[in-house]
Amino acid sequence: MSNNDEVLVDVHGVDRVFRRGSEEIHVLQKLDLQVRRGEFLALMGPSGSGKSTLLNLIGGLDRPSSGTVAIGGERIDGLNDRELAAWRARHVGLVFQFYNLLPVLNAQKNVELPLLLTSLSATQRRDHAAAALEIVGLKDRNTSFPSQLSGGEQQRVGIARAIVTDPTILLCDEPTGDLDQKSGDEILSLLQALNREQGKTIIMVTHDPHASARATRTVYLNKGRLLAEKPE
Amino acid sequence: MKFAGLVWSNLKRRKLRTALTILSVLVAFLLFGFLGAIKQALVGGVDLSDANRLIVRHRVSIIQMLPLAYMDRIGRIPGVVSVTPFIWFNGIYQDPKNFFGSFPVDPVGLLDMYPEISLPAAQRKAWLETRTGAVVGRGLVDRFGWKIGDRIPLVSPIWPKGGASDTWEFEIVGIYDAGRKGADTSGFYFRYDYFDEARQQGKGSIGWYGVRVDSPDHAAAISRAIDNEFANSPAETKSESEGAFAQGFVQQFGDIAAIVLAILAAVFFTILLVAGNTMAQSVRERTNELGVLKAIGFSNERVLGIVLAESFVIAALGGILGLALALVLVAAFAPSLATYLPGFFLPPKQLVAGAGLVVVLGLVAGILPALSAMRLRIAEALRRSA
Ligand SMILES: Nc1ncnc2c1ncn2[C@@H]1O[C@H](COP(=O)(O)OP(=O)(O)OP(=O)(O)O)[C@@H](O)[C@H]1O
Ligand SMILES: [Mg+2]
């Protein structure tokens, strides 16, 4: 871990403006954020403060209205749709609040999905997916469909899908938001282990102080700006 | 190919809906094949016609008779190679619904002019030796289970037999096969000399003449010469090439090709709506999933391709099964239809057109939903799930 101090995520002077009819909504304003490689950052803030919007910008799912976003030294704010898609496939693992597994595919096939975009052979895809499922502790549920899994198990499949490509950064939008305390804790432990043992850089949006306590750092988003302290 | 599993899984999501859509596509293509075969049967005669041959009939209508004496006069016109007479006998076998074409003819003239009537030499000889002999097509023989030596009683509403009984009796002395693909084998031919002697009325008159000319290039001029020959006589003639005659015959059913086309257009328009609706629904109900695919790095084009592939699979499964079923059914029905629709078969060009239609259907049904899937904005697609 020689480059632990390296800035992995560099968001600089970012605005994100949404237009709703004639109305302009300034969700993010002149926002700066730096995340170092190996950090586990919790992003908190009231509903509608722009947490998901910020996460989407970092993950290349959206582009800023102005300002720059660089990941691992590479500017992604100027990439076109096709370049961004390829970039996401290579660098980003996404974990969603509602798991967002494909109901028509079993756990194994869901985890293999991102690998379809790589040059791996069918056997390699199967082996990689099996390894990821083993990491999240669901090795023997590989043939189960999402509807046959509990919420916590589905989220673990979601995490396996996010890490199977060994992405540069793991982005989680309220990963425990739909889970009970116990399942939520298991998920947080899993993320923490990925961060500590595998050095994964993680940014996690959450409303839950319990969750942010597992992170290495917490920032607060309020009225379009970032604070290091929880606002009053 | 590695995305095939994903495409297939999506189609299995709503098995019933996918199956019903494939079924409606199947039915459309079945109809496409079947109507194609019917059209082939109706207009096939035009293709089979021989440019060397003319039909000479009464100018007013085919049901009016011409004198047998015209035969020699036509034969003397320059360019005419041979002439042979036909009569529409309208024979009824047991029951009027057992319809088939029956004709008094001159055996030698018929067999020489129509190579599509293929008869073994021994049977030809037997026919010439048997006054009441009849030569029957393979299709008709199979239909009624007849064989050589059988005696077949026919009654004709047009031509009552003179004498004690009005029933004509014929002995089958020959069975002919199609000398050309698609040729009719449902005819019943018997000797004119026997017929003319035994008929009660109209002796010495015939229905129409088949004429062979020395070259197709002369056909039009010879037709005119024949019609001129009989102009201002009590029975004026109308001569035309076999092709034109067959065409005119087909037109009695209206413009079959146009009707078939109109029906098919309506059917395929409906199918397009059905398949298009299935695809649109399928895309709409998994907006979120398509958003997820894009989020994890599937490009817009790839998502477009996946949705289009689903549409193509539906069109291809329905289309191939439908055409295959049409092929089987047409082959199965052809023997029993042989008398009404000789030449009832699915021409290869219809299958090629069907394959083209599969591609068009897959593309047109899928393109709008695929484009809307492609244009989905990830962040919005994902928000809709919450
Ligand atoms: N595509 C969009 N078009 C218009 N407005 C949008 C769009 N996306 C987000 N917004 C608005 O931006 C604001 C921030 O949304 P965002 O989803 O980032 O909030 P959030 O902090 O994630 O909230 P929550 O905690 O409820 O998930 C909201 O007011 C939202 O309505
Ligand atoms: Mg949010």
* Distance, CA of B218 to CA of B237 (rounded, Å): 18
Q: Is A157:A138 a contact under the CB 8 Å cutoff?
A: yes
> Token pair of A174, please?
């309220």
Question: Which band of pLDDT confidence, cut at 50, 70 and 90, is reported for residue B45?
Answer: low
Instruction: Name the least confident of A36-50, A93-107, B136-150, B322-336.
Output: B322-336
Q: How confident is the model at residue A203 (pLDDT cuts 50, 70, 90)?
A: very high
DSSP string, A147-173: GGS-HHHHHHHHHHHHHTT--SEEEEE
Question: What is the Cβ-side half-sphere exposure of residue B87, based on CA atoms within 13 angstroms?
Answer: 26
| A48 CB within 6 A, ligand 1 | yes
CA of B42 to the centre of ligand 2 (A): 68
Query: Span A165-176, mean pLDDT?
Result: 96
Q: Are residues B79 and B194 in the same domain?
A: yes
Residues 6+ apart with CB under 8 A from B60: B236
**Ligand 1 within 6 A of CB of B255:** no
Going from the Cα of A48 to the center of ligand 2, the distance in angstroms, rounded, reads 7
pLDDT at position B152 over 80: yes
Amino acid letter for position A50 = G
Same domain, B213 and B64: yes
The last residue of one of the domains, among B200, B219, B251, is: B251
Separation CA B192–CA B339 (nearest Å):
22
- CB contacts of B300 in chain A (<8 Å) are 81-82, 85
CB B244 within 8 A of CB B59: no
Q: Give residue-wise pLDDT tens across range A62-120.
A: 999 999 999 999 999 999 999 999 999 999 999 999 999 999 999 999 999 999 999 99
What chain A residue is nearest to B385 in terms of C-alpha separation? A98
Containing B173, the helix (H) or strand (E) segment is: strand B168-178
Same domain, B282 and B297: yes
Do B308 and B166 lie in one domain? The reply is: no
Contacting A with CB below 8 Å, chain B residues are 2-3, 5-6, 9-10, 12-13, 288-289, 292-302, 378-379, 382-383, 385-386
Dihedral (C-alpha) B278, B279, B283, B289: value to the nearest 10 degrees? 100
DSSP letter at B209?
A: E
Q: Length of chain B, please?
A: 386
The answer to whether residue A111 sits within a structural domain is yes
Query: Which parts of chain A are beta strand (E)?
Result: 7-20, 23-36, 40-44, 66-71, 74-75, 92-95, 169-173, 201-205, 217-222, 225-227
User: A71: alpha, beta or left, given left = phi > 0 and alpha = psi -120 to 50?
Assistant: beta
pLDDT surpassing 50 at residue A2: no
Query: Is A94 inside a domain boundary?
Result: yes
pLDDT tier, B22 (very low <50, low <70, confident <90, very high otherwise): very high
- List the single range of A24-28, B218-222, B275-279, B338-342 with lowest mean pLDDT: B338-342
Question: Cα separation of B67 and B236, whole Å?
Answer: 11
Ligand nearest to the CA of A49: 1
Give the residue from B207, B229, B251 where a domain finishes: B251
CB of A25 sitting under 6 A from ligand 1: yes
Counting Cα atoms < 13 Å in the Cβ hemisphere of A203 gives 28
In chain A, the residue whose alpha carbon lies closest to the alpha carbon of B294 is A85
Answer positive or negative: Cα dihedral of B255, B342, B47, B123: negative
d(C-alpha B134, C-alpha B113), whole Å: 18
State mean pLDDT over A136-160: 96
Per-residue pLDDT band for B338 (boundaries 50, 70, 90) equals low
Higher-scoring residue by pLDDT: B255, B36: B36
Above 60 in pLDDT, residue B298?
Answer: yes
Whether residues B121 and B137 fall in one domain: yes
Lowest mean pLDDT among A23-37, A150-164, B45-59, B136-150: B45-59
Mean pLDDT of B330-336: 81
Q: Where residue B372 falls among pLDDT bands split at 50, 70, 90? A: very high
Is a pLDDT exceeding 50 seen at residue B182?
A: yes
Does B179 share its domain with B269?
Answer: no
Q: What is the pLDDT of residue A21?
A: 87
- Pocket flag, ligand 1, residue A98 (CB < 6 Å): no
Both B211 and B283 in one domain: the answer is: no
Cβ–Cβ under 8 Å, residues B320 and B358? yes
Span B108-135, pLDDT tens digits: 999 999 888 999 999 999 999 999 999 9
> B288 vs A100: CB contact, 8 Å cut-off?
yes
Which comes out higher in pLDDT, residue A229 or A126? Answer: A126
Dist. CA A176–CA A16, nearest whole Å: 26
Which residue has the least CA distance to atom 18 on ligand 1?
A: A50
Q: Residues of B with CB below 8 A from A117's CB?
A: 296-298
Whether A86 and chain B come into contact, CB under 8 Å, resolves to yes
Nearest 5°: the CA angle B177, B251, B60 is: 95
Mean pLDDT of A8-25: 93
**CB of B315 closer than 8 Å to CB of B365:** yes
Site to substitute for ligand 1 among A15, A31, A52, A57, most atoms within 8 A of C-beta? A52
Question: Is B198 in the same domain as B339?
Answer: no
Residue range B137-146, pLDDT digits in tens: 998 999 899 9
Mean pLDDT of chain A: 93
Residue where a domain terminates, one of B203, B235, B251? B251
Interface test with A, best of B292, B300, B303, B376 (most A CBs within 10 A): B292
Distance (Å, whole) CA A154 – CA A164: 15
Query: B135 and B25, same structural domain?
Result: no
Query: Domain range spanning residue A200?
Result: 39-63+80-227
Contact between B300 and A85 using a beta-carbon 8 Å cutoff? yes
Given a cut of 60, is residue B386 above it in pLDDT? no
Ligand with smallest separation from the Cα of A51: 1
- List residues bridging with A11 in a β-sheet: A33, A69
Q: Do residues B173 and B65 both lie within one domain?
A: yes
What is the span of the domain harbouring residue B316?
A: 4-45+254-383
- Residue B112 in contact with ligand 1 by CB distance below 6 A: no
* Residues B131 and B163 reside in one and the same domain: yes
Residues of B in contact with A161 (CB under 8 A): 296
Least confident of A23-27, A200-204, B97-101, B309-313: B97-101
Q: Of the candidates B90, B152, B100, which has an alpha carbon nearest to the alpha carbon of residue B339?
A: B100
Whether pLDDT at B164 is above 80: no
Average pLDDT over residues B232-236: 91
Q: Which of B287, B378, B380, B384 to mutate to test the pocket of ligand 1 (most atoms within 8 A of CB)?
A: B380
Contact A66, A14 (CB under 8 A): yes
Q: Which of A16, A49, A178, A203 to mutate to test the pocket of ligand 1 (most atoms within 8 A of CB)?
A: A49
Residue A193: inside a domain: yes
Any idea what the CATH number is for the domain that residue A150 is in? Answer: 3.40.50.300
Number of domains in chain A: 1
**pLDDT value at residue B62:** 78
Same domain, B202 and B225: yes
Number of domains in chain B: 2
